[in-house]
Amino acid sequence: MRNFLHFLIKHHIGLLFILLEMVAFILIVTYNQNQRAIYLSSSSKMSGGLFETVSNIEQYFVLKKVNQELAEENAYLRSQLPTSFVQARDYFALVGDSSTSTQYKYRTCRVVNNTIRKHFNYITLNKGSLDGIKPDMGIISGLGVVGIVIKCTDNFSTALSILNPRLKISAKLKGSDFFGSVSWDNKSIHHVILDEIPEHADVQLGEQVITSGFSSTFPEGVLIGTVESVEHPVGESFYKIKVKLSVDFARLNYVEVVENIFQDQQLQLEEESVQ
């Protein structure tokens, strides 16, 4: 403390000069419109450049993880070609594909906001209605299911994350085709619960849980996760299955929005069928 006081006494003239300069600068910016506009413009450019630099640094450090996800996705697609090339050709296409028989098209988006610690978690994407994004479109990453779009502006979209108890996704066991629904139980961000699987089903630990294809949102066979544990509640005829998610939501960066170009036709037909 004594050294600090000694420093102030020794340099009090210089410190007073700096203080008066700061006060003068604040007064000029506050009470002169032209100078204030110049300052705000300059500070915006500086802060924008700083944020961009920080973002670039963060992106650099996640490149290894992103590359790993891309490699795993490519390996998965290659493994599907020998047995289901026709199905893959019919279901998967880039936006702008001229094939009229394609049912699903994909648009790549970047995640600009992602909550994982709230009771109801949401995701914000950097594309909106001007990019062809609409509510009720599914969202996936290279590793599996992410969520469903609920609202759009011209340039942004918000979505229900799978880590949101309001979202239920039709799913099935890949090995046996028994189907149910997955939902989040507000506990671990790495797990969801698969319900409605009957007690006579043969459920294996490590078995993949995939989308059933029964909804108009996701194509059949998109990975959700793997079976980690199986419970049989007393007095119930269905299992309660804990599923480890294939997507790490704490490291979510890039996703794809799924467009089912026949969705409106399917929904209209289903509504007419129940009337």
Rounded mean pLDDT, 9-15: 76
d(CA 186, CA 161): 12
- Segments forming the whole domain that contains residue 127: 92-273
The answer, as to whether pTM is greater than 0.85, is: no
Question: What are the C-alpha distances in Å from 262 to residues 105, 128, 132, 222?
Answer: 11, 20, 15, 18
Lowest mean pLDDT among 50-54, 58-62, 195-199: 50-54
E strand spans, 37-93: none
Residue 23 lies in a domain: no
Angle between helices 12-31 and 33-91 (to 10 degrees): 70
pLDDT bin (cut points 50, 70, 90) of residue 258 is: very high
Has residue 58 got a pLDDT over 70? no
The answer to whether residues 137 and 215 touch, using CB atoms and an 8 Å cutoff, is no
| More confident call, 75 vs 38 | 38
Query: Mean pLDDT, the chain, as a whole number?
Result: 80
For residue 165, tell me if it sits in a domain.
yes
Q: Which residues of 109-140 are buried (b: 16+ CB within 10 A; e: fewer)?
A: bebeebeeeeeebbbbbebbeebebeeebbbb
Does 230 fall in a domain?
yes
Residue 98 per-residue DSSP state: -
Asked whether the beta carbons of 255 and 159 are under 8 A apart, the reply is no
Answer for the pair 97, 105: CB distance below 8 angstroms, yes or no.
yes
How many Å apart are CA 72 and CA 258, to the nearest integer? 19
Q: How far is CA 260 from CA 32, 63, 152, 241, 242, in A?
A: 56, 30, 17, 29, 29
Average pLDDT over residues 20-46: 62
Task: List, for residues 174-217, the tens digit of each pLDDT value.
Answer: 989 999 999 999 999 999 999 999 999 999 999 999 999 998 89
Q: Is residue 25 part of a domain?
A: no
Domain count, the chain: 1
- The pair of structure tokens assigned to 249 is 């939501």
In this prediction, residues 119-136 reach a mean pLDDT of 94
Structure tokens at 122: 């949401």
Evaluate if residue 68 carries a pLDDT over 90: no
User: Using one digit for the tens of pLDDT, what is the confidence trace for 82-118?
Assistant: 434 434 444 454 554 444 447 888 888 889 999 999 9
Q: Is residue 233 part of a domain?
A: yes
Q: What are 215-230's pLDDT values in tens digits?
A: 889 999 999 999 999 9
Domain harbouring 213, CATH code: 2.40.10.340
Collapsing DSSP to helix, strand or coil, 262 comes out as coil
Structure tokens at 7: 């420093």
Residue 195 inside a domain? The answer is yes
Is 240 inside any structural domain? Answer: yes
Residue 183 falls inside a structural domain: yes
